[in-house]
């Protein structure tokens, strides 16, 4: 009997899964890993062995491929915690499905959209947005944040001049752009008021941060959940909840220790099986991401389960027997900073406490002991707060100090006014030159930071 493509309505979930497992077996890794295992129905999934990040590292670059490498559309490589690269390959047809998921869930994406895409070009998720914009018939600006072509200042300039309506980026990006805009005397409501939609992905999005971005930009935030291995796993709906993409992946939410399925309202590790991926299918891949399953169905009416993404389980912070997720720490910190009228802080995880460095216009303003205790109670870990002055946590001038980059060349015309490069690298890159005053401030800041670092390290050493 012939099986249709995975999305055809007459295809049962069991059939889709059977097809996915058979496709996975085409890779050298799964041919061996699944040897002796079979799947007839969805219920058999739990009898298949897990795939761990370690497997992906060991199998890089070609071991997970179910097709010849040249048949993949995109290659990405990231360094794992061990520093060993992890290869991820993806296909064009799955990219299109992912893009249509984003397009279908975000009503603001239409022909009028101009999206400033700050995801780095090397990262697969960047192309999900490019394709979603293509499907919407809208304009895409490839302005990856790791490229020297579009530093923060230019990104801001694009928003203002081109009347950009949407941004896709890490959740920190809108915070940084806002600080830079304020520094440059731009007003978010008037100068940058065209932005109505901000996609945030690539890091956790705690509620207090979402509220801050929505408030500052007067824009709707859409959460995007994915990873390099999977590209896209979830998209936020108009109700602000994150729906898992059930047509792309089979999800299991498993207890972090027992690896048994957890119930609604409970926390578990996201484990996925690819349903549509043909290039690098994954079977029961343990992503390491901790989520909380929601208990109530979403009012938006979508059937896909909604979860709250809490971040990487291995990044749980433990101090003296108590623990908190970075998500919870950041949520409390953004809320706390908001009460002080700032968005700028930096959290140091120290052996015996969290140190919250908060940047204030007036650093002499003190934080009451009661407020500090309340923050510590909220996080569940010991916290002390240190207030710092303008630019001591976020050096805004550093956001300007990016080099100008030119087309590589081996010929230069010195008769023209301006710079006179004398090497290929000089012709390619131009670092801004600093006046004495800037150099003095830079030096002073570096010395202050070094002293603060030494003081805190000595305190840590003395306590342990």
Residues that bind Zn ion (CB under 5 A): 237, 239, 241, 298, 300, 302
Give me the least distance between CB of 101 and Zn ion, in Å please. 13
Give me the least distance between CB of 316 and Zn ion, in Å please. 28
Smaller CB separation from Zn ion, 22 or 247: 247
Query: Which pair of structure tokens corresponds to residue 33?
Result: 């890993």
Q: What is the 3-state secondary structure of the chain?
A: CCCCCCCCCCCCHHHHHHHHHHHHCCCHHHHHHCCCCCCCCHHHHHHCCCECHHHHHHHCCCCCCCCCHHHCCEEEEEECCCCCEEEEEECHHHHHHHHHHHHHHCCCCCCCCEEEECCCCCCHHHHHHHHHHHHHCCEEEECCCCCCCCCHHHHHHHHHHHCCCEEEECCHHHHHHHHHHHHCCCCCCCCCCCCCEEEEECCCCCHHHHHHHHHHHCCEEEEEECCCCCCCCEEECCCCCEEECCCCEEEEEECCCCCCECCCCCEEEEEEEECCCCCCCCCCEEEEEEEEECCCCCCCCCCCCEEEEEEEHHHCEEECCEEECHHHHHHHHHHHHHHCCCCCEEEEECCCCEEEEEECCCCCCCCCHHHHHHHHHHHCCCEEEEEECCCCCCCHHHHCCCCEECCCCCCCCCCCCCCCCCCHHHHHEECCCCCHHHHHHHHHHHHHHHHHHHHHHHHHHHHC
Give me the least distance between CB of 237 and Zn ion, in Å please. 3
Give me the least distance between CB of 104 and Zn ion, in Å please. 12
Smaller CB separation from Zn ion, 237 or 282: 237
Give me the least distance between CB of 108 and Zn ion, in Å please. 15
Smaller CB separation from Zn ion, 77 or 239: 239
Query: Which pair of structure tokens corresponds to residue 301?
Result: 């009416």
Whole-angstrom distance, CA of residue 92 vs CA of residue 303: 26
Beta strands 197-201; 166-169: pairing state: parallel
Looking up tokens 């400033």 gives: 116
Smaller CB separation from Zn ion, 114 or 222: 222
Smaller CB separation from Zn ion, 237 or 276: 237
Smaller CB separation from Zn ion, 223 or 328: 223
Query: Which pair of structure tokens corresponds to residue 393?
Result: 């946590």
Smaller CB separation from Zn ion, 28 or 297: 297
Smaller CB separation from Zn ion, 17 or 200: 200
Query: Which pair of structure tokens corresponds to residue 236?
Result: 């936020």
Give me the least distance between CB of 153 and Zn ion, in Å please. 37
Whole-angstrom distance, CA of residue 74 vs CA of residue 67: 13
Smaller CB separation from Zn ion, 24 or 221: 221
Smaller CB separation from Zn ion, 210 or 241: 241
Give me the least distance between CB of 221 and Zn ion, in Å please. 14
Give me the least distance between CB of 224 and Zn ion, in Å please. 14
Give me the least distance between CB of 12 and Zn ion, in Å please. 25
Measure CA 360 to chain center. 27
Give me the least distance between CB of 344 and Zn ion, in Å please. 32
Give me the least distance between CB of 213 and Zn ion, in Å please. 19
Smaller CB separation from Zn ion, 91 or 236: 236
Whole-angstrom distance, CA of residue 386 vs CA of residue 353: 13
Give me the least distance between CB of 240 and Zn ion, in Å please. 8
Smaller CB separation from Zn ion, 237 or 262: 237
User: Taking Cα atoms as reference points, which of 187, 243, 194 lies closest to residue 219?
Assistant: 194
């Amino acid at each position: 009997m012939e099986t249709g493509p995975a999305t055809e309505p007459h295809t049962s979930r069991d059939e889709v899964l059977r097809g996915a497992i058979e496709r996975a077996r085409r890779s050298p890794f799964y041919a061996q890993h699944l040897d002796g295992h079979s799947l007839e129905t969805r219920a058999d999934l739990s009898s298949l062995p897990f795939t761990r990040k370690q497997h992906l590292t060991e199998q890089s670059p070609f071991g997970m491929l179910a097709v010849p490498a040249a048949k993949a559309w995109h290659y990405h490589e990231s360094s794992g915690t061990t520093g060993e690269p992890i290869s991820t390959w993806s296909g064009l047809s799955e990219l299109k499905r992912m893009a249509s998921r984003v397009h279908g869930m975000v009503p603001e994406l239409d022909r009028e959209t101009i999206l400033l895409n700050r995801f780095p070009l090397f990262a697969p998720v960047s192309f999900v947005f490019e394709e979603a914009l293509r499907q919407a018939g809208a304009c895409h600006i490839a302005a990856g944040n790791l490229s020297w072509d579009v530093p923060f200042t230019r990104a801001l300039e694009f928003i203002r001049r081109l009347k950009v309506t949407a941004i896709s980026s890490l959740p920190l990006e809108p915070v940084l752009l806002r600080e830079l805009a304020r520094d440059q005397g731009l007003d978010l409501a008037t100068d940058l008021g065209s932005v109505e939609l901000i996609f945030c992905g690539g890091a956790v999005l705690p509620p207090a941060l979402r509220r801050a971005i929505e408030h500052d930009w007067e824009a709707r935030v859409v959460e995007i959940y994915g990873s390099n291995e999977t590209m896209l796993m979830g998209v936020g709906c108009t109700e602000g909840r994150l729906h898992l993409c059930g047509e792309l992946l089979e999800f299991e939410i498993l207890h972090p220790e027992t690896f048994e399925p957890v119930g609604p309202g409970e926390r578990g590790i996201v484990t996925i099986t690819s349903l549509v991926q043909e290039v690098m299918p994954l079977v029961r891949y343990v992503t390491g991401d901790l989520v909380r399953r929601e208990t109530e169905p979403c009012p938006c009416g979508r059937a896909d389960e909604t979860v709250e993404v809490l971040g990487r389980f291995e990044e749980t912070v433990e101090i003296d027997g108590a623990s908190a997720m970075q998500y919870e720490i950041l949520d409390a910190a953004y809320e706390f900073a908001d009460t002080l009228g700032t968005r700028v802080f930096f959290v140091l995880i120290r052996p015996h406490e969290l140190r919250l460095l908060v940047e204030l216009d007036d650093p002499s303003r003190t934080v009451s002991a009661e407020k500090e205790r309340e923050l510590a109670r909220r996080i569940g870990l010991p916290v002390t707060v240190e207030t710092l002055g303008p630019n001591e946590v976020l050096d805004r001038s550093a956001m300007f100090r990016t080099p100008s980059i030119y087309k590589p060349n081996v010929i230069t015309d010195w008769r023209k006014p301006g710079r006179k490069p004398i090497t290929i690298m000089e012709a390619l890159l131009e670092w801004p030159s600093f006046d004495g005053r800037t150099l003095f401030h830079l030096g002073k800041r570096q010395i202050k930071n070094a002293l603060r670092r030494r003081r805190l390290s000595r305190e840590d050493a003395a306590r342990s």
